[in-house]
Each structure stands twice: as structure tokens, then as C-alpha cells.
Amino acid sequence: MARIWIIAKMSLLENSRKQVFHVLCLLMLAVIASSTLLSIFTEGVQIKILKDLCMTCILFGGAALAIALGATGIPNDVESRTIHPIVARPVTRAQYVVGKFLGTLITVAMGIGAMSIAFGMLIYMYQHTFDSFLLMAVLFTLLEVALITAIATAISTFATPAVTTVITFMIYLAGTIKIGYIGGLIEQSTNVLSKGIFLLIYHALPNLECFNLKTALVHHDAIPAAYLGQVATYGICYTAFVLVAGAAYFASREV
């Protein structure tokens, strides 16, 4: 664990110095701050739009950070050969991959934290109360971003940063429409073979929509604790699955 933490700290330092991290954080903070310009609308719609826009900003900003940082971590180390002194030490490849993932995740969590504080302050300014469900919604957004970070890290073990970015972004988009679109394809298909292929794609793709608590936050809907528990377990399981697969491939690869 100590070795993983050392690699994570190195990765955190490296990522927090990258320009893309600062630019994306500032851009998303600017969008969140500019949401106040929506004050021309009636109050009910204004708060709805504010919450919708800010939560999407946090999610999209977090996902963009996760893809940008996760896609470059390992390939940059391999390219610049800084990986050689690391793997020459008593550190397994799996520990290296998990350390890189954790470092990237902590960096992204810092960005999400800053955006969430700005969002919480805006909500307090308008509602004069702190919405406790906001914390829950942000935590589940972080879990979704952790999953995207794991996918980007796993793909980066065998692909270039550009290819990793494109594939992860496509998986992210497909994951957001999975239930509605691919679920519908499974229901409609009559052929056993095509149904089997769709089922495999359905389960292989991450179900990102279940982490979305934005509607519940906007409309104050009650969400059962059991459902939240299942979603959290699913997120952790998927992240572990992707990381194990990525680490297994990286362990057998020449660097």
C-alpha cells in the first residue's frame, strides 16, 4: 500500500502541474460563476437551471479532467522512460497502474471539490439554506469520474494518449445512453445471436446514468438508501474490474 501511495503522490504532483488541469478547472469555475447571469428568469426556473447547469459542469469538467490526465500518465512515463527506474525497484506493474489511477483520481477530486464549493456557495446565495443532498450528488459524480479515470488509465496501458482520449470519450458517451438506447435494442432484437451481442455490449459498457442524481437534486426526489448502496457497489466493482484488466495487460507488456 505504501508503494502505491508513493506512486500516487508522484502522479498527483505531476498532474497538478499540468496546464490542462488549471485551464479546465478555471473554465468550469467561470461557467459556474456565470450561471448567476440567469437571474432574469423567474425564481423557480432560475434555481432549476442553476442546479442543472452547475451539476453538468461538475460532471463534464470532472470527466474531461479524468480523460485528459488519465490518458497521458502512463504513456508519458513510457515515452520519457521515467518508468524504468520505477519498475527496477520492488514495485509490481499492478501497483504502478493502481498508483497512477489513484494519483489521477485525487487530482480530479481536487478540481471537483473546487467546483462543488463554488456551486454550494451559489446555491446558498439563492436559497439561503445548504442543500445536504448536494454533497450526495457530488459524491456520486466523483464515483462516476473514478470509473472514467479507471477506463482511461486501463486503455492508456496499451494505446497512445490520442487514441485513449477518443476511445474513453466514446465509452463515456455510450455509457450515458446505455439504458435507453442499447437496452431498447436488446428488447427489440428477435435474433438470439444479435441479442447476445447487444447483451455483452450492454454489460461491458459502464452504466453511467445510474450515478446521475441531478434530477433528484433539482426536484427534491427521495432516493432509497438501498439503491444508492447498490449503485456505489457497482461503481467500485466496475472500477476494480477495469483496473485489474488494465494491470494484467500492463504486467505482460514490454516497456
Partner 1 sequence: MVETNRQNREGETVKGKLHIIAAVVILFAGMCIIENSAVRSKPVDPADNVSSVYKLVGEFRSVFANLLWIKVDCYHHEFIQNDPDWTHNKDLLGLFKMITALDPRFVEAYSTGTYVLMDGYKDLPKALAYLREGLAANPRSYELNELATVLYAGKLHQPSRALAYAKRAVACAGDDYNRGIAKRTLRSVERMIREENAAKNSRHSR
| Shortest distance in whole angstroms from residue 28 CB to partner 1 | 14
Helices (H), the chain: 2-16, 19-34, 43-79, 83-88, 93-127, 133-156, 161-176, 183-188, 192-204, 214-219, 225-251
What is the number of residues in the chain?
255
User: Is 241 a residue that touches partner 1 (CB under 8 A)?
Assistant: yes
Three-state DSSP class for residue 208: helix
Residue number with CB closer to partner 1 (48 or 195): 48
The C-alpha atoms of residue 58 and residue 217 are separated, in whole angstroms, by: 14
| Shortest distance in whole angstroms from residue 237 CB to partner 1 | 4
| Shortest distance in whole angstroms from residue 240 CB to partner 1 | 6
Per-residue cell: 135: 454533497
User: Is 177 a residue that touches partner 1 (CB under 8 A)?
Assistant: yes
Query: Taking CB under 8 A as the criterion, which residues in 48-107 touch partner 1?
Result: 48-49, 52-53, 56, 59
User: Is 245 a residue that touches partner 1 (CB under 8 A)?
Assistant: yes
The C-alpha atoms of residue 42 and residue 110 are separated, in whole angstroms, by: 33
Largest pairwise CA distance in the chain: 63
Per-residue cell: 13: 504532483
Residue number with CB closer to partner 1 (79 or 196): 196
The C-alpha atoms of residue 169 and residue 179 are separated, in whole angstroms, by: 18
Using the rule CB under 8 A, give the single segment among 11-19, 70-78, 157-165, 214-222 that binds partner 1. 214-222
Residue 177 DSSP class: S
User: Is 34 a residue that touches partner 1 (CB under 8 A)?
Assistant: no
Q: How many CA atoms lie within 13 A of 200 on its CB side?
A: 6
User: Is 127 a residue that touches partner 1 (CB under 8 A)?
Assistant: no
| Shortest distance in whole angstroms from residue 254 CB to partner 1 | 15
Binding test (CB under 8 A) with partner 1, winner from 40, 88, 192, 225 = 40
Using the rule CB under 8 A, give the single segment among 7-15, 17-25, 108-116, 224-232 that binds partner 1. 224-232
User: Is 30 a residue that touches partner 1 (CB under 8 A)?
Assistant: no
Q: Which among 57, 73, 129, 60 is positioned nearest to 106, based on CA atoms?
A: 73
Using the rule CB under 8 A, give the single segment among 72-80, 102-110, 115-123, 228-236 that binds partner 1. 228-236
Query: Which residue is it, cell 500492463?
Result: 250
Query: Which residue is it, cell 446555491?
Result: 123
User: Is 116 a residue that touches partner 1 (CB under 8 A)?
Assistant: no
The C-alpha atoms of residue 209 and residue 161 are separated, in whole angstroms, by: 26
User: Is 224 a residue that touches partner 1 (CB under 8 A)?
Assistant: yes
Q: Are 169 and 148 in contact (CB under 8 A)?
A: no
The residues that touch partner 1, with contacts defined as CB under 8 A, are: 38, 40-42, 44-45, 48-49, 52-53, 56, 59, 173, 176-177, 179-181, 184, 203, 207-210, 212, 214-215, 218-219, 221-224, 226-227, 230-231, 233-234, 237-238, 240-241, 244-245, 248
